[in-house]
Amino acid sequence: MPDVLVLGATGTTGSRVLAGLRERGVKTRAATRKPVEPGQIRFDWTDRSSHADAVRDVRAVYLVAPIGVAEPLSLVEPFVADARTAGVRRVVLLSSSAVTEDTPGLGALQRLVRTEMPEWTVLRPSWFMQNFTGEHLVAQGVRAGEIVTATGDARVAFVDAADIAAVAVRALTDGEPHNTDHVVTGPETLSYAETAEIIARHTGRPVRHRTVTPDEFAERLRNDGLPAEYAAMLAALDEYIERGAEDRVTQTVERVTGTPARSFRTFVKEEIR
């Protein structure tokens, strides 16, 4: 019988949460839209019939909201109701440091798990270090030599997805429920210009940061194929950073896991070639 259902099990944090749980010997169920490996189960936010099999005999859920949906409550609320009916007691929600319960759209999910689940945790991580690798627009900018944002010279405490996952694993498995939100950051704040300088120094290739207006940034995102509402939300988050809201460091990773958070310079050294 699986103890924990991991939604988004092939994603940036979900895959790491899944691995961390299995390292601890926790029985897991990996949910994904397109299962291709043994142990994976089909899960589709828009197909409620897939929810019952996902939550059957599960004690806790790692919940990642549907990607690219600016107003996800109508999809997530029925799932949470199905989970409670099936006997799930604990939900750990991946949210964002920029989101509170009062934030339109994503904020409603924080209120939902707090009020509807007997045991809950909201993870509010800062921006991922992994955005600088893979296919993220920032990573594409790194490879092209120019990172474009609407953040100005404001600073962010970029955080490693592995550190987020480590906090999630504790929240899912600790005997006592956390019943709180955790703002999860890396150990220092950096501007995008500083991240570009660190990457350029490490790789020997030129990388710079160029700032644009939020409207210009939203247009870039739309041109990259994102829905207009979601592009506007992401541009607003850059504007939120530009106002200084992410210029903060917390000790959550070390306090919850006992291990210090990974630094951006270490991440670049080990992950960017």
Closest among 120, 121, 158, 123 to 138, alpha carbons compared: 158
Q: What is the pLDDT of residue 1?
A: 47
pTM of the entire predicted model: 0.95
Rounded CA-CA distance 167/170 in Å is 5
- Cα distances from 107 to residues 46, 98, 113, 143, in angstroms, run 20, 10, 11, 33
CB of 106 closer than 8 Å to CB of 95 = yes
The pLDDT profile of the chain, 273 residues, written as one tens digit per residue, is 469 999 999 999 999 999 999 999 999 999 999 898 888 999 999 999 999 999 999 999 999 999 888 899 999 999 999 999 999 999 999 999 999 999 988 999 999 999 999 999 999 999 999 999 999 999 999 999 999 999 999 999 999 999 999 999 999 999 999 999 999 999 999 999 999 999 999 999 999 999 999 999 999 999 999 999 989 989 999 999 999 999 999 999 999 999 999 999 999 999 998
In total, the chain counts a number of residues equal to 273
CATH class of 4-125+161-184+248-258: alpha beta
CB of 145 closer than 8 Å to CB of 100 = no
Q: Token pair of 88, please?
A: 């799930």
